[in-house]
Amino acid sequence: MPAATRHPDLCLHPAVAAALAGGAPVVALESTIISHGMPWPQNAETALRVQAEVRAAGAVPATTAVIDGRLCAGLDDGQIERLARAGSTTPKASRRDLPVLVAQGRSGTTTVAATMITAAAAGIRVFATGGIGGVHRGAAQTMDISADLLELARTPVAVVCAGAKSILDLPLTLEVLETHGVPVLGYRTDELPAFFCRSSGLKLDARLDNPADIAAVMRAQWNGSLGGGGLLVCNPIPEAHALPRAVVDAAIDTALAEAAQQGIAGKAVTPFLLARVNALTGGNSLAANVELVLDNARLAAAIAVADAALAMGNGR
């Protein structure tokens, strides 16, 4: 039975519904990058480019959002433009926000956590994003830890990313993922990528060098007795677009000091820091962000294609 008939608050784009019904590969995409990650019109252009990359790699894109109280897996161009033009006036939606938005018939753009929820409800197994949220610096005092990490512990979706955003406390982020039993896989890397930078100096326990091997880990995680939640696939930003670590670290330090001076906290922290880092790097970080998202989309599509092939080979 199609997922749309099982979940009263889920709406599937026709192309996504057809792909899922036929066992074709589908890749979920988040929409917070549209409303809070980039300015108009670059946000809309990037969202459409990411979808095109997924299609070119043989999968069907399913950009997710809450639209008028429905969890949508797959947006048309008009809906993407609507979110892009509205920008930050459309709220970011994580797990805690979904019930209110659904009950009130409102719209929201999906974070990593909310995209995982929507993807799992639809039956989509692979999701591409830029970087996940994590443990914020100073979390020992603030307890500011992204819901993305807890969602990875509970929801069976493979998240392809360029590591955690480099504005975060990366060692503690890895510790929380380990505590919650989330497999963290390095794609052709032995280290956790640091979003704009290819390396963080933090070693990973598992390296896999082709999409089929990642798809095999997904099936081991979910199809047997392991009963696992999500898993994280860390794909370093392409070398041609990576930023020097010293430049990024200096920009982050300045941005963090400015955020503290201005009393910026909670959901406002990440978009503020990313915007300031972009300004402090002369726009280079935004360009890098676009390139890493496109590369993650290509890898996610390759993993989804491999996963669909394994499912067909197993007759399920």
Strand ranges, E, within the chain: 10-12, 26-29, 60-67, 70-73, 92-93, 108-110, 126-128, 158-161, 184-187, 206-208, 231-234
Verify whether residue 267 is a known catalytic residue: no
List the structure tokens of 156: 């069976």
Quick one: residue 123, left, alpha or beta (phi over 0 = left, psi -120 to 50 = alpha)?
Answer: left
Q: Which stretch of DSSP H or E encloses residue 95?
A: none
| Residue of 30, 53, 81, 151 marked catalytic | 30
| Residue of 45, 165, 239, 291 marked catalytic | 165
List the structure tokens of 2: 């199609």
Cβ(75)–Cβ(28) below 8 Å: no
Spatial CA neighbour of 65 closest among 37, 26, 24, 106: 106
Verify whether residue 53 is a known catalytic residue: no
Alpha-carbon span 41 to 84, nearest angstrom: 7
DSSP-derived letter for residue 194 is: B
The set of catalytic residues is 30, 165
